[in-house]
Amino acid sequence: MGSVPNLLGMCGVAGIYAPGHDAARLAFFALYALQHRGQESAGIAAADGGTLRSHKEMGLLGAIFDEENLRELNGYISVGHTRYSTTGSSIVVNAQPLLEQSVLGDFAFAHNGNLTNTDELRETLSPGVTLQATSDSEVMAKVIVEGSGSMMDRITSLLERARGAYSIALCTKDELYAFRDPWGVRPLCLGTYGQGGYVVASESCALATIGANYVRELKPGEIIRVSKDGLESVMVRPGEKTALCMFEYIYFARPDSNFSGESVYMARYRMGRELAREYPVEADVVMAVPDSAIPGAIGYAAEAQLPYVEGLIKNRYIGRTFISPEQDMRSRGVHLKFNPVVENLNQQRVVVVDDSIVRGTTTPRIVQLLREAGASEVHVRISSPPIMHPCYLGVDMATYDELIAANHTVEEIRQRIGADSLGYLSLDGLVASTGRKRDEMCLGCLTGTYPNVPAWHASRAAPV
């Protein structure tokens, strides 16, 4: 059987090669734009042509880095990582970039995604290899350590053997590499920076933040190498079927990012418009569950010709708190994150749009909050289809048991969340909203068909 699949999950990665610039500082600001992809830990490694140094800690970027530790990360090359939180592996040894030593010298490795054949790869490592971390990322890094030939040869060999999702930025003391699995599950884009500089990042919003110029997405199965000789590109397994994760469009990516020139904001806006066509309702106002559902709700309101209002204000600083509230406060649960704008809700028939229902914990609380604020009707609209199947490729939804739509009908879910009505966007409507071809996306969590997952995963049927 396979290994525990979801240790790493969603993350943000960035890589900088910028002669004459402070690459760690650029990585810091690029990662700041990718903080939404992971808040558990973060790190930056930097190289100056001679030495590779790194700093990583648990927590948010702004708390980890200061002038002093950034200044120590000297050099014109860097890679950085923000790590998503999943349970059981929240320890600093799993923070990235991973630092590895090989006969070619030291390298730093930052991974977004999730492997599906970690055990198989681990068995190819020599018995003496000790693994510090518990992640698939470390196994991949060790495959490179134990490989032969140049760094490019070793990465090529890794891409020929590793299955699953991986978008990776890697640097040595004087080169930057970036590569994407042959299915292109997780995003990774390339930009130029200043004179002869290059940047790679999980999302284009990071390029925009530091003033890099977007050039293109890395192709599925592409390895790029940036060195004093410029940029070189190698394609590995180019015949594989492309499968960009649909959940990036639904929830994960920042709306100001583009994938291959397609705006995530506009895709979500169109999802909302389509949702209004598929599930219209007599109502007074349309609102979003902030922040991720805002473009969808604006689209719904436009199509329905209803006013878009702010019904909930999200505390943008709550993030991840390790201080548990007093019992009285804990029972107020969702109030820590959202407070209602009563004036927009009282005696109103409210359409509330969210991007997804995963476990089904958020939505019933939201509905209750809106009713307490005086809403006379609450109509829930979800700008994605029901999430019916786990993700093995990096999104934090690992088992059938925890997915409400794998275990209940839409009508049962409506009752559980306490809504007057519930409508989910159709799969066709979703795909059309992205402007991409259906067979170039991973729709595994919606359809149960995965692009590159071993049969033992895909063949597991959902419990009835």
Active site residues: 11
Q: Which residues fall within 8 angstroms of residue 393, CB to CB, at 6 or more apart?
A: 113, 114, 116, 164, 165, 185, 186, 245, 442, 444, 450, 453
CA 85 to chain CA centroid, Å, is 11
Q: Contact region for Mg ion (CB under 5 A) — 9-17, 193-201, 290-298, 326-334? A: 290-298
Binding mask 244-263 for ligand 5GP (x = CB under 6 A): -------x------------
Q: Does 69 help bind ligand 5GP (rule: CB under 6 A)?
A: no
Between CA 321 and CA 369 the distance in angstroms is 22
Nearer to ligand 5GP, 173 or 365 (CB): 365
Nearer to ligand 5GP, 158 or 350 (CB): 350
356, interface contact from Mg ion, ligand 5GP, none, CB < 5-8 Å by kind: ligand 5GP
User: Where does 341-392 show beta strands of DSSP type E?
Assistant: 349-354, 377-382
Task: Number of residues interacting with ligand 5GP: please give it, by CB under 6 A.
Answer: 15
Nearer to ligand 5GP, 105 or 364 (CB): 364
Nearer to Mg ion, 185 or 293 (CB): 293
248, interface contact from ligand 5GP, Mg ion, none, CB < 5-8 Å by kind: none
Nearer to Mg ion, 191 or 340 (CB): 340
- Smallest CA-to-CA distance from 191 within 436, 32, 17 is with 17
Distances (CA, A) of 132 to 124, 141, 157: 17, 12, 23
Q: Does 78 help bind Mg ion (rule: CB under 5 A)?
A: no
| Sites for ligand 5GP among residues 269-298 (CB under 6 A) | 289, 292
- Smallest CA-to-CA distance from 272 within 248, 302, 251, 311 is with 302
| Sites for ligand 5GP among residues 385-414 (CB under 6 A) | 395-396
Between CA 426 and CA 428 the distance in angstroms is 5
Residue type, 78: S
CB of 387 to Mg ion, least distance (A): 13
Q: Does 363 help bind Mg ion (rule: CB under 5 A)?
A: no
Q: Which of 117, 292, 363, 433 binds Mg ion (CB under 5 A)?
A: 292
Residue 307 structure tokens: 């006013």
Burial (Cβ within 10 Å: 0-12, 13-18, ≥19) of residue 275: buried
Q: Does 60 help bind ligand 5GP (rule: CB under 6 A)?
A: no
Q: Does 425 help bind ligand 5GP (rule: CB under 6 A)?
A: no
361, interface contact from ligand 5GP, Mg ion, none, CB < 5-8 Å by kind: ligand 5GP
Nearer to Mg ion, 254 or 457 (CB): 254
Between CA 71 and CA 213 the distance in angstroms is 25
360, interface contact from Mg ion, ligand 5GP, none, CB < 5-8 Å by kind: ligand 5GP
Between CA 219 and CA 259 the distance in angstroms is 12
Q: Which of 358, 373, 393, 431 binds ligand 5GP (CB under 6 A)?
A: 358
Q: Does 105 help bind ligand 5GP (rule: CB under 6 A)?
A: no
Between CA 93 and CA 75 the distance in angstroms is 24
- Smallest CA-to-CA distance from 42 within 26, 58, 23, 24 is with 58
Residues that bind Mg ion (CB under 5 A): 292
